[in-house]
Amino acid sequence: MKKIFIGILFLLLLLFLTIIHGYHENRTLEVENLTISLPNLPNNLDQLKIVHLSDIHFPNNRIDPAELIAETKKVQPDLIFLTGDLMDRSADISQIPLADLIASLSEIAPTYSVSGNHETSSEQLEEWNAIMVQNGAVLLENEMELITIAEEQLAIVGLEDWSRISDVTLRESIEGLPVLLLAHHPEFFNSYLTDNPTIQPDITFSGHAHGGQIRLPFIGPLFAPGQGFFPDYTSGIYESPQNTHQKLVVSRGIGNSLFPLRINNKPHFIIITLTNE
What confidence category does residue 263 fall into, taking pLDDT thresholds of 50, 70 and 90?
Answer: confident
Domains of the chain in sequence order: 2-275 (3.60.21.10)
- Section 69-91 average pLDDT: 97
First to last CA, the chain: 66
- Provide the pLDDT for residue 127: 98
- Provide the pLDDT for residue 71: 98
- Provide the pLDDT for residue 259: 76
Pairwise CA distance, residues 161 & 232, whole Å: 20
- Provide the pLDDT for residue 262: 86
Q: What is the pLDDT of residues 126-135, one digit of tens each?
A: 999 999 999 9
- Provide the pLDDT for residue 9: 54
3-state secondary structure of 37: strand
Residue 248 has pLDDT above 90, yes or no: yes
Residue 2 has pLDDT above 70, yes or no: no
Selection from 173, 128, 172, 163 nearest residue 181 by Cα: 163
Whether cis (ω within 30° of 0) applies to the bond prior to 241 is no
* Start-end of H helices in 76-218: 98-108, 117-120, 125-134, 189-194
Residue 65 has pLDDT above 60, yes or no: yes
R_g over Cα of the chain: 19
- CB-based contact 106:139 (threshold 8 Å): no
Strand partners, 80: 51, 111
What confidence category does residue 266 fall into, taking pLDDT thresholds of 50, 70 and 90?
Answer: very high
- Section 121-127 average pLDDT: 97
With a pLDDT cut of 70, the percent of the chain lying above it is: 91
- CB-based contact 102:131 (threshold 8 Å): yes
Phi, psi of 40 (to 5 degrees): -95, 15
DSSP-derived secondary structure letter, 216:
E
- Section 254-265 average pLDDT: 86
Average pLDDT of the chain is 92
Q: What is the pLDDT of residues 172-226, one digit of tens each?
A: 889 999 999 999 999 999 999 999 999 999 999 999 999 999 999 889 999 999 9
- How far is CA 96 from each of CA 104, 122, 177, 226, 245, rounded to the nearest angstrom? 15, 14, 38, 27, 39
- Provide the pLDDT for residue 260: 77
Residue 18 has pLDDT above 70, yes or no: no
Residue 85 has pLDDT above 70, yes or no: yes
- Provide the pLDDT for residue 206: 98
Q: What is the pLDDT of residues 27-56, one digit of tens each?
A: 799 999 999 999 999 999 999 999 999 999
Q: What is the pLDDT of residues 159-185, one digit of tens each?
A: 999 999 999 988 888 999 999 999 999
Exposed / middle / buried, residue 217 (Cβ in 10 Å: 0-12, 13-18, 19+): exposed
With a pLDDT cut of 90, the percent of the chain lying above it is: 83
